[in-house]
């Protein structure tokens, strides 16, 4: 189905044309008619599938067909980066329609908080916010949500993983009861189903769950000793000098170590983690997008929701503990049907984690031999840890009251 066939405002179609969108993605084709009918929705689809446009287009169309007398839609997302990206799409899609929005997130200074406050008081059409910062504004009493008609929770599974359940429910307490609720998630754990039961009313359910990464992603795996990972990274990067590369590490400390090593090798790159200020994050991501440098080292911070065109190579320097995070990470490449490569380094301590990934993908990923000069690689051997047996007192066991140290 083509976007031009949709029964939506022409000014919105003009905005869609500016993104060069033509055909609806599967998640858009399934969810757009439901949302346009003003029904509640629980939708599950992999990262990079077009979820953002799937909820923005009908929500913005509803705003254009209503009285513009206050905040009409609230989009809650887990991170600042996702909020910024959603607002960028709103600005593009709504350019010809004159739809206004404000992104509300933490990690910024008092001046930014004041700017957010002023925007919230001036009856913007759409708020895009992280839970904590939005609550800070709501608790101060100047945000009026009585005209709101749509609530959207984006990357809802990630928000629950980050411990935002209580914040989400507190936010909902400020909203009118008569509203449309849209819940979008990349996975469908029991916690999401519980949240859906609490906030959705007679919802439609669309499950296009990721399960498998895009077929355009070529996945390669190297078994490597932890001490050899830096040298292997350097070897691989030497073959991708002019390509855009995203390197995922497991922790902020690992990001720092990788970045230090690359600097010692005079390899131009940048890094980003949750310690960075919001301005630093924005500048780093923008410089990477624009090609000022081609290698970016990060944590799972950029695994979800961030669209960066033409990422040719993903390197999992550290294997994620959650199998789903692997799919989100490698989903940063092969966007819009293009080809991409994902390379993972597996040390002995990470074998169990990667085995969980293979179980999720329902296939074994072949282990490639190391390049010349690395010697023998560790064996991919799964050793399950024995379960600890709970201690139970023997029958007829009696404490020796005379020997207190035995008690």
Dmax over CA atoms of the chain, in Å, equals: 89
The predicted pLDDT at position 45 comes to: 84
Residue 354, SS3? helix
Domain 3-208 sits in CATH at: 3.40.50.300
Residue 63 in this model has a pLDDT that exceeds 50: yes
Quote the percentage of the chain above a pLDDT of 70: 90
Topology match between the domains 3-208 and 217-368: yes
CA-based nearest residue to 303, from 345, 274, 279:
274
Answer yes or no: is pLDDT of 145 > 60.
yes
CA distance to 225, 254, 265, 374, 399, per residue, from 230 (Å): 10, 11, 10, 12, 56
- The span from the CA of 132 to the CA of 130, in Å, is 6
Q: What is the pLDDT of residue 404?
A: 46
Report the 10 Å Cβ neighbour count for 119. Answer: 16
CATH, domain range 217-368:
3.40.50.300
pLDDT tens column, 71-87: 999 999 999 889 999 99
| Element housing 9 (H / E) | none
Tell me what pLDDT residue 402 has.
Answer: 52
Which residue from 55, 378, 115, 13 is spatially nearest to 221, judged by alpha carbons?
Answer: 378
Query: Which pLDDT does position 141 carry in this prediction?
Result: 93
Phi, psi for residue 350 in degrees, rounded to 5:
-105, 5
**How would you class 96 by CB atoms within 10 Å of its CB: exposed for 0-12, middle for 13-18, buried for 19 or more?**
middle
CA 116 distance to own-chain centroid: 23
Mean local confidence (pLDDT), 87-105: 94
Determine the Cα–Cα distance for residues 265 and 244; give it in Å rounded to an integer.
18
Confidence of residue 274 (pLDDT cuts 50, 70, 90): confident
Q: Which two tokens stand for residue 5?
A: 């066939």
**Cβ-contact 159, 128 below 8 angstroms:** no
The predicted-structure confidence for 322-366, as pLDDT tens digits, reads as follows 888 898 888 888 765 667 899 999 999 999 999 999 988 888 999
Which residues does residue 343 pair with via DSSP β-bridges, in sequence order?
Answer: 220, 315
**Total residues belonging to the chain:** 407
What's the whole-number average pLDDT of the chain? 88
Q: What is the rounded average pLDDT of the residues 87-108?
A: 91
Q: In the chain, where are the structural domains located?
A: 3-208, 217-368
pLDDT at residue 60 in the model? 97
Give the list of residues 6+ apart from residue 131 with CB closer than 8 angstroms, or none: 76, 78, 159, 164, 167, 168, 171
Q: Which residue has the tokens 């000793």?
A: 225
d(CA 73, CA 15): 19
Q: Which 3 state secondary structure label does DSSP give 162? A: coil
Write out the H or E segment, with its range, that includes residue 249.
none
């Amino acid at each position: 189905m083509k976007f031009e066939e949709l029964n939506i405002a022409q000014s919105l179609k003009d905005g869609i044309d500016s993104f060069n969108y033509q055909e609806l993605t599967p998640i858009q084709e399934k969810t757009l008619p439901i949302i346009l009918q003003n029904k509640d929705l629980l939708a599950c689809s992999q990262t990079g599938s077009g979820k953002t446009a799937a909820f923005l287009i009908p929500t913005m169309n509803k705003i254009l067909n209503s009285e513009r007398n206050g905040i009409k839609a609230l989009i809650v997302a887990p991170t600042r980066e996702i909020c910024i990206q959603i607002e960028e799409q709103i600005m593009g899609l709504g350019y010809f329609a004159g739809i206004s929005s404000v992104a509300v997130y933490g990690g910024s200074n008092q001046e930014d908080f004041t700017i957010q406050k002023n925007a919230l008081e001036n009856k913007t059409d759409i708020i895009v916010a992280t839970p904590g910062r939005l609550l800070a504004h709501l608790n101060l009493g100047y945000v009026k949500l009585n005209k709101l008609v749509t609530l959207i929770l984006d990357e809802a599974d990630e928000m629950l993983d980050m411990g935002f359940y209580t914040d989400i429910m507190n936010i909902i307490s400020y909203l009118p009861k008569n509203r449309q609720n849209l819940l979008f998630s990349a996975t469908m754990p029991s916690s999401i189903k519980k949240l859906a039961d609490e906030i959705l009313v007679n919802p439609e359910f669309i499950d296009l769950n990721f399960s498998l990464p895009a077929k355009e992603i070529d996945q390669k795996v190297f078994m490597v000793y932890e001490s050899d990972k830096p040298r292997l990274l350097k070897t691989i990067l030497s073959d991708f000098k002019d390509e855009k590369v995203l390197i995922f590490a497991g922790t902020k400390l690992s990001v720092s170590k990788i970045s230090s090593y690359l600097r010692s090798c005079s390899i131009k790159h940048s890094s980003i983690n949750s310690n960075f200020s919001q301005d630093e994050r924005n500048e780093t991501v923008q410089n990477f997008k624009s090609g000022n440098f081609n290698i970016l080292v990060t944590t799972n911070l950029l695994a979800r929701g961030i669209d960066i065109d033409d990422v040719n190579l993903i390197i999992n320097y550290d294997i994620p503990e959650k199998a789903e995070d692997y799919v989100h990470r490698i989903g940063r490449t092969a966007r819009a049907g293009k080809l991409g490569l994902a390379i993972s380094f597996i040390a002995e301590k990470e074998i169990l984690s990667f085995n969980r990934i293979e179980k999720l993908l329902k296939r074994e990923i072949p282990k490639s031999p190391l390049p010349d000069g690395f010697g023998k690689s560790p064996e991919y051997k799964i050793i399950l840890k024995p379960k600890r047996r709970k201690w139970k007192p023997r029958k007829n066991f009696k404490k020796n009251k005379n020997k207190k140290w035995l008690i």
